[in-house]
Amino acid sequence: MNAISASAVAWVRNERLTPEDDDWEAVVSEIVLDPSLPAECLDGLEAFSHVEVIYHFHLVGEEQIISGTRRPRENSAWPQVGIFAQRARLRPNRLGVSVARLLRREGRSLFVRGLDALDGTPVLDLKPVMAEFLPRGEVRQPDWSHALMENYWERNG
Amino acid sequence: MNAISASAVAWVRNERLTPEDDDWEAVVSEIVLDPSLPAECLDGLEAFSHVEVIYHFHLVGEEQIISGTRRPRENSAWPQVGIFAQRARLRPNRLGVSVARLLRREGRSLFVRGLDALDGTPVLDLKPVMAEFLPRGEVRQPDWSHALMENYWERNG
């Protein structure tokens, strides 16, 4: 196994057309099933409050991918860390994983709040969020990652 | 965009050779970087307590994929729900996402506890777990999903 092929199961529609780093909680997205799938693959998802979305950073060119280290957001105040110690989009395989609040389902569409993906993003998988799949034990993380996330969901001041 | 190509960034090594549903917290796995990537792509990850692992359910054949509905674990006590309302492996694109506790890093390897993936599994991405990426707001889920998870991490009785 060296290459795995995946195809879009759904597509993101929202008003974010260009990459921006912050203020994602304000964004409501429609996730529309790809025509290749039947509507019933979403049945029962509305019983969950949150959905995990696996998607492709489709605007990142292969030549932009970083496979070593970089400073997050190229901010000199933060340490040079490996690409797998950050969640930046310029990463091998260009996969994003994010949890959004499920507002409602309408037929072949899900409406979600706070999905940090641009309009036109191909979605590769949708999973229900179960409390049992959250981290077991206390979460510990470095200070730079808290600073980076300060305005990510909601702009503070 | 109809097909996305991804390749393994790392590989799982552990003692789970065949699919089993439960008792995953007992499993310690070594995640070994693929030779195509430099060791420094893991630098800084050891400052995080948990790592999110995106992987490929490589033993699932294309003909096994369910794109409509099924009963989780084919248990008649649970409702027929869409494949995207469950986290079963027989899903379009066969992607798994799971959070494991990071025990230590040694050069090109991570040692983790509680990764629900079999020996030989190709890993497509590794991301640090940040508290800010956990669900915002209360998590709500149906009763069947709690029942399904009862023995998943640790066997109870």
Q: The whole model's pTM is what?
A: 0.96
B146 phi/psi in degrees, rounded to 5: -65, -45
A3 band by pLDDT with thresholds 50, 70 and 90: confident
**How close, in Å, is residue B140 to chain A by CA atoms?**
5
Indicate whether B157 pLDDT > 70. Answer: no
Task: Flag if B84 and A127 touch (Cβ within 8 Å).
Answer: yes
For residue A136, the chain B residues in CB contact (below 8 A) are 25, 99, 101, 114, 153
Size of interface A-B (CB pairs under 8 A): 261
**How close, in Å, is residue A89 to chain B by CA atoms?**
11
Spatial CA neighbour of A7 closest among A30, A35, A31 = A35
- Average pLDDT (A72-94) is 96
Q: Kindly report, residue by residue over B4-50, the tens digit of the pLDDT.
A: 999 999 999 999 998 877 889 999 999 999 999 999 999 999 999 99
Domain boundaries, chain A: 10-131+140-148
Handedness of CA A21, B105, B59, A42 (dihedral sign): negative
A20 band by pLDDT with thresholds 50, 70 and 90: confident
Indicate whether B1 pLDDT > 60. Answer: no
What CATH number should be reported for the domain whose range is B10-148? 2.40.30.70
A134 phi/psi in degrees, rounded to 5: -75, 165
Among A99-108, A148-157, B64-73, B92-101, name the one with the lowest average pLDDT.
Answer: A148-157
Q: What is the 3-class SS of chain B, one letter each residue?
A: CCCEEECCCEEEECCCCCCCCCCHHHCEEEEEECCCCCHHHHCCHHHCCEEEEEEECCCCCHHHCCCCEECHHHCCCCCCEEHHHCCCCCCHHHEEEEEEEEEEEECCEEEEECCCCCCCCEEEEEEECCHHHCCCCCCCCCHHHHHHCCCCCCCCC
* Percent of all residues in chain A with a pLDDT value above 70, rounded to a whole number: 98
**How close, in Å, is residue B141 to chain A by CA atoms?**
4
Helix (H, G, I), strand (E, B) or coil at A111: strand
Segment holding A144, helix H or strand E: helix A143-148
Domain covering A10-131+140-148, topology: Elongation Factor Tu (Ef-tu); domain 3 (2.40.30)
User: How many whole angstroms from its chain centre is CA A55?
Assistant: 6
Residue A7 contacts B, CB cutoff 8 Å: yes
Residue B21 contacts A, CB cutoff 8 Å: no
Residue A95 contacts B, CB cutoff 8 Å: yes
- Average pLDDT (A34-48) is 98
- Average pLDDT (B62-81) is 96
